[in-house]
Structure 1
Amino acid sequence: MTLVLPTVLAEVAGGRTEFALTGVSSVRAALDNVGESYPILARRLRDERGQLRRYVNVYVDGDDVRRREGLDTAVGEGQEILVIQSVAGG
């Protein structure tokens, strides 16, 4: 499976925007996997309770995980996890 980040988060992910992951079965496990190597990225995506931050949206093959099982949404080989960080301002 592939985890894709927006370019704006690349600087806290070692300059990367794409990660090929194996052996993970949920969105939570995928974020944990990447977050172990990039703790600043982990803090940008999830709050102190481990939940997605308000302005972070995650999609599995185009489906919003908040409309599915949240971080426990199952993922498998060949699927794409897309992280989108909303931009707020006025």
Structure 2
Amino acid sequence: MATQRVYVSGKVQGVGYRDYMVRKAREHGVVGWVRNTRDGRVEMLASGEDDALAAFVEASRGGPMLCRVDNVEAHPDSEKPAKGFTKRFTA
């Protein structure tokens, strides 16, 4: 299993983006969490098999109809999330 920390910028807060990514995580069998950041981005920590994680990161480039993704940054991370994929409070 691999883990990546993903930052997504654009119009990604207040448009249902976190709920969208929770659904995508479940579709791809990825565990972790998603939260808004105070600087307007969305941050995610995701773990899964390499193919599933790659598909999840690719899905982060999309989103619900009202969102606009301008940039996705994904970096390997050593933190291991708990089971499931959850929304967290803003950090």
The normalised TM-score by structure 1 is 0.32
Between Structure 1 and Structure 2, the one with more helix by share is: 1
Between Structure 1 and Structure 2, the one with more strand by share is: 2
